[in-house]
Amino acid sequence: MVQNDILKKYFGYESFRPGQDELVESIISGRDTLGVMPTGAGKSLCYQIPALMMEGITIVVSPLISLMQDQVGALVQSGIRAAYINSSLTMNQLYAVIRNAEAGVYKLIYVAPERLDSELFVNFARKANISMITVDEAHCISQWGQDFRPSYLNIPKFAASLPQRPVMTAFTATATQRVRDDIVRLLELRDPFTLVTGFDRKNLYFEVRRPSDKFADLKRLVTAYDKEGRSGIVYCSTRKNVEDVCAKLCEMGFSAARYHAGLSEEERRVNQEDFIFDRRRIMVATNAFGMGIDKSNVTFVIHYNMPKDVESYYQEAGRAGRDGSPSDCILLYSGRDVITAEFLINKSYEESEQEPAIAEETKRRDLKRLRDMTYYCTCGDCLRGYILRYFGEKAPLECGCCSVCCSDSEETDITVESQKIISCIYRAGQRFGIKVICDILRGSESEKLSGWGLDKLSTYGIMKETSERRIRRIMERLEVMGYIKRTEGDRPVLTVDNSALEVLRGTVTVKARIPEDEVKEKKQKETLVYAADPKLMEILKKLRQKIASVQGVPAYFIFTDATLADMCEKRPCTPAEFLNVSGVGSAKLERYGDEFIGAIKDYCGENPPGEPTVKKAPVNRMKTPEDRNRAFEELERGISQFSPSEENMNITALISSIITAAGVNVSAANLRTAVLEWLISEGYLQVCPDSDGGERKGVTGRSAGIGIFEEQFTASSGKSYTRVLYSPRAQRFIADNLGNIGGYQAAHL
Ligand code: ADP
Ligand code: MG
């Protein structure tokens, strides 16, 4: 079978996400491969699909027991033979797994890095046919990564001990070049194909809020989520916060659990399971919670406190929306968070046992990162854009899906206010902190001010009408722009930077997006509704829960929320239609098809499809026949921009270059299906059996005439595959025929 068929058959997906395709191709061609993709991008499939295509066994090195259980559980559900070996197994279980492995039962075996030393495992591996070693969370091998695991360093030794060197592949979400270099060097990858995909997660909505009462705000948010049955994580910076917030939420009747490193191992395990199995909806946790949590239906991540850097923030927030559902990442900011974070950095500096010069450097770097994080919360620029640029990517000025882009407040000129603040700091002798400067500007009548003679300053009372809140926000803005500075220490003092002269002279203008004083209600972002039909969604969720409880697995092992939502939209009533749902492969059809189809049919009998009652989140699908025709018309119009590549391409690459060239917003999966169906209907392709007893699309007598041909290629395992390629001529032919393809598609709806 070719990779696209495996994707559909086992995983139930129509098309690859960006990058997956190329990584799979590279691996099956036998080349060492390194994939760097953000959390939730779908790294697992990139090695699981080649593992199924190659002869022999793939060993997956994975750092956490929970991760392995999660992945193996999901594979088994999809009808793939897999097992894990780690310290959670009893001796008997371990022997049983090894016996099975020796008998060739498994295609994938997940192991903890520590196991690579064990005699039992090494003996097995030497005799087995190991075609690939995959290192998941590969940044654990680097001391520069966040989660260094010394036992990862044993991997190359293990690989070298095998009779034949397997293909080596590595995956991580960590972006920095230094860590990437470490992975290649320490894992001894040979001339690896490296692919770094974009870090944008389009389904995530980012928001920064500055509530005057954080808990009240949190309560408002989780109340709304709770009504929609959504599950999520609330991150706090300290253990004490975790306990307070969790206790208060539970008192109010929310279904919350807590997690931090100070709890007993038993409590952590129980709470984590309660969350993963949907027995508790909200997890309140420190950053100790998360790595290895692949729970796919987390649809919000709220930060009760600002984290220490953007890396941590994006990793934690990125745990939302793994299955692609629209999800919220909300940060509740207050100036206190900055002070707490500074305090922690200074403390770890003082307690550091590193050489002074290195400790000094570490502190400097941490403070810089903290400033960058603070900037995210205060800058008033597009939040997504800021994050992407932070990770070295290009990003448009506005993303349209963050609190800044969705807010009403326009950027306004704050030059005059800035001048007043700067000159006040200067005239007061650069000896005072934020509070005193605010008091002077607002003309406070406190005795302290008059005692120091500060009420005689020319800047005294010149911002009487402005709220302290607004002045503070402008100060923040000036600080991140570098015009004013705050000294370190317990009583930070504001000072003026030389560059501020330009502001005072009026040669530069200062702009910011700062809401007017009367707290204007933000424009409500469109409520995201996940299912075309919430009632049906509820029914399907209950059914899923029932099945999951019987099997004792988390609900999302059965189907993700995104898959249920697609069922609501497609309302499949036959096995073939059910298979058409994104996330349904043949194993799941067989196992759950009857029950779900039954439930959907019952529901449809009572509720014929009518006008949708709720507004739906925008999805890139061609929906109604009119929509489809329109999409094809647009495609036809835009296609003049398309020029064939000089190289032969596979269908996925061709479709994506057509869409890109035409600049049209259509679903690649649907277009791909439409094109393939049309080619088959015209006799340019046919469905034929493949070597594994599955089906694939192959050439016909007519294919060569338009430049479609097949190519055999052999993987390092010795196995050979057939792939269909589209020459420049075939590419042009398909582009020219989009109109016909659209007509065919419309006629077959
Ligand atoms: P990562 O390891 O990169 O964080 P995972 O491999 O855990 O991400 O995948 C995240 C989610 O995306 C899973 O629910 C997975 O089933 C889903 N997914 C992966 N590839 C695709 C695809 N091509 N189409 C749709 N969903 C996908
Ligand atoms: Mg992963």
Backbone φ and ψ of 61, nearest 5°: -90, 125
pLDDT tens per residue across span 343-399: 889 988 888 777 888 888 888 888 988 988 998 998 778 899 999 888 777 777 778
Asked whether 8 lines ligand 1 (CB < 6 A), one says: no
Q: Which ligand is nearest to the CA of 39?
A: 1
DSSP state of 7: I
Q: Candidates 137, 174, 323: which one to mutate for ligand 1, based on the most atoms within 8 Å of Cβ?
A: 323
CA dist., res. 176 & res. 185, Å (int): 15
Asked whether 44 lines ligand 1 (CB < 6 A), one says: yes
Asked whether 557 lines ligand 1 (CB < 6 A), one says: no
Backbone φ and ψ of 413, nearest 5°: -80, 120
CA-nearest residue, atom 5 of ligand 1: 42
Atom of ligand 1 nearest to the CA of 41: 3
pLDDT tens per residue across span 615-625: 344 333 344 55
Query: What are residue 328's DSSP bridge partners?
Result: 205, 300
Long-range contacts of 335-338 (CB under 8 A, 24+ apart): 335/472, 335/476, 337/237, 337/305, 337/306, 338/306, 338/370, 338/374
Q: Candidates 7, 8, 13: which one to mutate for ligand 1, based on the most atoms within 8 Å of Cβ?
A: 13
**pLDDT reading at 611 higher than 50:** no
Q: What is the largest CA-CA distance in the chain?
A: 98
pTM of the predicted protein model: 0.58
Amino acid letter, residue 9: K
Mean local confidence (pLDDT), 393-406 = 82
CA 39 to centroid of ligand 2, rounded, Å? 7
CA 272 to centroid of ligand 2, rounded, Å? 18
Q: What percent of the chain has pLDDT over 90?
A: 50
Give the DSSP letter string of 263-297: S-HHHHHHHHHHHHTTSSSEEEE-TTS-TT---TT
CA 294 to centroid of ligand 1, rounded, Å? 10
- Asked whether 266 and 288 are in contact (CB, 8 A), the reply is no
CA-nearest residue, atom 14 of ligand 1: 323
- Asked whether 391 and 175 are in contact (CB, 8 A), the reply is yes
pLDDT bucket at 678, cuts 50 / 70 / 90: confident
CA 46 to centroid of ligand 1, rounded, Å? 9
State the pLDDT at residue 628: 62
pLDDT tens per residue across span 374-389: 989 987 788 999 998 8
CA dist., res. 566 & res. 543, Å (int): 15
Angle at 410 between CA 510 and CA 388, to 5 degrees: 80
State the pLDDT at residue 81: 94
State the pLDDT at residue 380: 78
Backbone φ and ψ of 180, nearest 5°: -60, -45
Query: With left for phi above 0 and alpha for psi between -120 and 50, is residue 683 left, alpha or beta?
Result: left
Q: Which ligand is nearest to the CA of 15?
A: 1
CA dist., res. 69 & res. 83, Å (int): 9
- Number of helical H runs and strand E runs in the chain: 32, 21
Give the DSSP letter string of 684-742: SEEEEE-TTSSEEEEE-TTHHHHTEEEEEEE-TTS-EEEEEEE-HHHHHHHHHTHHHHH
CA 431 to centroid of ligand 2, rounded, Å? 51
**pLDDT reading at 551 higher than 90:** no
Query: What are residue 35's DSSP bridge partners?
Result: 171, 195
Angle at 672 between CA 639 and CA 621, to 5 degrees: 85
- Nearest CA-CA partner of 277 in 487, 69, 518, 570: 69
Asked whether 323 lines ligand 1 (CB < 6 A), one says: yes
Asked whether 294 lines ligand 1 (CB < 6 A), one says: yes
Atom of ligand 1 nearest to the CA of 44: 6
CA dist., res. 15 & res. 454, Å (int): 68
CA dist., res. 710 & res. 708, Å (int): 7
For residues 144 and 236, the model is more confident at 236
CA 553 to centroid of ligand 2, rounded, Å? 19
State the pLDDT at residue 415: 93
pLDDT tens per residue across span 578-607: 999 999 999 999 999 999 999 999 998 887
Tokens of 679: 């080619």
CA-nearest residue, atom 25 of ligand 1: 13
CA 119 to centroid of ligand 1, rounded, Å? 34
Mean local confidence (pLDDT), 515-534 = 49
CA 42 to centroid of ligand 1, rounded, Å? 3
Atom of ligand 1 nearest to the CA of 136: 2
- Asked whether 165 and 126 are in contact (CB, 8 A), the reply is no
Is the dihedral angle over the CA atoms 182, 188, 194, 196 positive or is it negative? negative
Query: What are residue 111's DSSP bridge partners?
Result: 61, 85
State the pLDDT at residue 178: 81
Residue 674: exposure state from Cβ atoms within 10 A (0-12, 13-18, ≥19)? buried
Query: What are residue 193's DSSP bridge partners?
Result: 33
Asked whether 41 lines ligand 1 (CB < 6 A), one says: yes
- Asked whether 61 and 139 are in contact (CB, 8 A), the reply is no
Backbone φ and ψ of 472, nearest 5°: -60, -40
CA-nearest residue, atom 18 of ligand 1: 42
Name which of 104-108, 287-291, 312-316, 540-544 the model is least confident about.
287-291
State the pLDDT at residue 213: 92
Average model confidence (pLDDT) across the chain: 86
Strand intervals (E) in 157-255: 167-172, 193-196, 204-209, 231-235
CA-nearest residue, atom 21 of ligand 1: 42
Give the DSSP letter string of 325-347: --EEEEEE--HHHHHHHHHHHHH
Asked whether 34 lines ligand 1 (CB < 6 A), one says: no
Angle at 697 between CA 693 and CA 699, to 5 degrees: 120
Asked whether 321 lines ligand 1 (CB < 6 A), one says: no
Amino acid letter, residue 550: V
Pairing of strands 685-689, 484-486: unpaired
CA-nearest residue, atom 2 of ligand 1: 43
State the pLDDT at residue 72: 94
Q: Which ligand is nearest to the CA of 197?
A: 1
- Nearest CA-CA partner of 258 in 248, 243, 273, 241: 243
Asked whether 278 lines ligand 1 (CB < 6 A), one says: no
Cβ burial 643-657 (10 Å sphere, 16+ → b, else e): ebeeebbbbbbbbbb
CA dist., res. 347 & res. 318, Å (int): 28
Name which of 15-19, 91-95, 119-123, 230-234 the model is least confident about.
15-19
Tokens of 387: 């994050």
